[in-house]
Structure 1
Amino acid sequence: MLLPMLLGAAWIILALAQPAAAGEDADTLVLPHDIVQRAASFADDLVLPDHAEPIDALTAPRMALLKPSGDGPFPALMLLHQCAGLNSAVAAWARRAVARNYAVLLLDAFSARGVTSVCYGPKAGVNLVRGAKDALQAAQHLRRKPFVDPKRVALVGFSWGGMVGLLAARRHYIDAFGTGPGFAAVASFYPGCFRIKPPGGRDYDLVGPDIAQPLLLLMGDADTETPAAECVDKLTPLKAAGAPVEWHVYPSTTHCWDCQQLDGRSKTDVRGNHVAYRYQPDVVADSERRLFAFLERRWARK
């Protein structure tokens, strides 16, 4: 639920006219590493949970490290929420993952920073690039756990978290933060693929040719908040050029199809689009199937 104005006033100071980084496609706008690092410095690093809990301990959505019974090593997912913060829909994905014998780091990028929403712009230094650093630090954190298989750590992001995932899947950002190899796979649910255009600042793209690991996007064709067509138009030439990306667009499916708490609600977004939310349990079930099939294909190649 994040829109192109997301990088607001704090980003104007980053409006430095520099060429694309070495190895980047000339048509892809990128932020040089020094700007990436500065952008992520506006908020302190998160304190990530060390102690693993059973899924039954998750009685309400919160930051938590969760694991199945047993010693593992388990594959692990880092789950990253939408622009309005951690909610019951994302917590439900944690339960699905643990039921499939995955460890889960349920990340809350907002609460410890006093943020409730970034849907209309960054708050307290929380922007997309800070989110990418959070995600990559979480991957590093998971790889160090004795019950986690360090070669099977994936990110699953939703809307804003999915856009963060697009950055965290790219070699440019992995290298900029120096937090290790990143994720073995990334899945983005209903992300935006906008070219970010901060007022008075430097434009940059979320999607680029430097996708470092398999990337899955799941989208709805009735999503007017983060339209699927904007992603498909950018991903098609990348896939044709050999990028490890795949996607599926669900017919008659809105933004946040897994968000039962938003069912029937609507709004006018910052771009003037009418946005409707419809909970669609059949799509939830199919997206669960597609997500874990994608991950199992990835693990089979490790």
Structure 2
Amino acid sequence: MSNTPDCPSADALLGGLDGLLTPPFSRRGFVMTSLMTGLTLATTSVEAQVIRTDAEGLEAGEVKIPAGDGPMPGYRAMPAGEGPFPVILVIEEIFGVHEYIKDICRRLAKAGYCAVAPELYARQGDLSTMTDAKLIIRDVISKTPDAQWMADLDAAASWAVSGARGDPARIGTMGWCRGGRGVWLYAAHRRDLKAAVAWYGPVGGERTEIQPRTGTDVAAEINAPVLALYGGADTGIPVATVEAARDKAVAAGKSVELVVYPEAPHGFHADYRPSYRPAEAKDGWARALSFLKSHGVG
């Protein structure tokens, strides 16, 4: 990407996440070289209400995204046409880019977006074969450096602009669960990000050498408005912790819009799981699309 007003250099986009961005960091080969098919094996059942979005009028499918150490698998969906299209970086849950995440990309494409979901855990483990969520967290999630995530999301954004008719002036992000945590971090990392939507992403948690900062830690440093969609019945993410992150951001002059659905549990948007709550998921989706467009990503 050339260093023009509409297409700034990579160095110009890096935020001040001291302790997070410390390149060069160690890389490893890709364990996953292609995406899984179907839904994650880690779900105990597939619910009847699973949403299936067709690809009519879209360009949709698996892609290879150039990364620093080879092609990273990902999924891209966008309208058929010349573009340029606003870009949404879709950040997965802990279960990989499975059919639910792919369908979200198609839903966004139907709304006019170039949606790209990179497989951010491709180096750490093969999520297509894993059935135990606790082992996924222990063996894959906890071993994936945040700096790697940021670099891979940047690579996905660059690819969307150069190879998928994405608009460099209209880049946003949306993530679920652990991906919601990534939304907070990426909003503090990328200076030209226009808007970010975090679905029930943890804002606290243990700090480690490779995951040194939490969502609350970086809340005062976000570069884009954040829409935070959370469940009041989420037993793993107390609403008070999200309110504290929001208040920290607002005190620093940043914009965070927090919406709490009082009766919704964690995972209320995940239509393939028993946690799915159709009314709250539908309302949150409508709010997310409206939020993106109101902040220049649409």
Unpaired runs of 5+ residues, structure 2, are 1-14, 36-55, 63-72, 128-132
CA contact (8 A) 1:77 1:105 kept: yes
Q: Secondary structure at the match of 1:41?
A: coil
Using the alignment, how far apart are the partners of 1:190 and 1:223 within structure 2?
A: 8
Q: CA deviation at 1:93?
A: 1.6
The change in CA–CA distance for 1:292 and 1:202 in structure 2 (over 3 A counts) is closer
Matches within 5 A, 1:1-302: 31-32=18-19, 36-37=22-23, 41-43=26-28, 55=58, 57-58=60-61, 63-111=74-122, 113-116=124-127, 118-120=136-138, 122=140, 125-145=143-163, 147-170=165-188, 173-174=189-190, 181-198=191-208, 204-207=213-216, 208=218, 209-263=220-274, 278-299=275-296
The change in CA–CA distance for 1:101 and 1:43 in structure 2 (over 3 A counts) is same
Instruction: Report Cα offsets for 1:205-225 as digits up to 9, x if no partner.
Output: 323211111222111111112
The change in CA–CA distance for 1:227 and 1:84 in structure 2 (over 3 A counts) is farther
CA contact (8 A) 1:73 1:147 kept: yes
Using the alignment, how far apart are the partners of 1:210 and 1:261 within structure 2?
A: 34
TM-score, L = length of structure 1: 0.69
Q: Secondary structure at the match of 1:67?
A: strand
Output the amino acid matched with 2:284.
S
The change in CA–CA distance for 1:84 and 1:226 in structure 2 (over 3 A counts) is farther
Unpaired runs of 5+ residues, structure 1, are 1-22, 25-29, 175-180, 264-277
CA contact (8 A) 1:216 1:246 kept: yes
Using the alignment, how far apart are the partners of 1:124 and 1:229 within structure 2?
A: 24
Instruction: Report Cα offsets for 1:52-82 as digits up to 9, x if no partner.
Output: x9647559xx822221121111112111111
Q: Among the aligned pairs, what percent are the same residue?
A: 22
The change in CA–CA distance for 1:136 and 1:196 in structure 2 (over 3 A counts) is farther
Output the amino acid matched with 1:143.
V
Q: CA deviation at 1:83?
A: 1.1
Output the amino acid matched with 1:196.
E
The change in CA–CA distance for 1:138 and 1:256 in structure 2 (over 3 A counts) is same
Using the alignment, how far apart are the partners of 1:109 and 1:261 within structure 2?
A: 21
CA contact (8 A) 1:129 1:164 kept: no
TM-score, L = length of structure 2: 0.70
Using the alignment, how far apart are the partners of 1:89 and 1:234 within structure 2?
A: 28
Moved more, 83-92 or 123-132: 123-132
Output the amino acid matched with 1:285.
K
Q: CA deviation at 1:233?
A: 1.5
Aligned length in residues: 245
Instruction: Report Cα offsets for 1:243-278 as digits up to 9, x if no partner.
Output: 122221111001111223221xxxxxxxxxxxxxx2
Using the alignment, how far apart are the partners of 2:185 and 2:211 within structure 1?
A: 16
Using the alignment, how far apart are the partners of 1:69 and 1:98 within structure 2?
A: 9
Output the amino acid matched with 2:252.
A
Q: Secondary structure at the match of 2:26?
A: helix
CA contact (8 A) 1:160 1:191 kept: yes
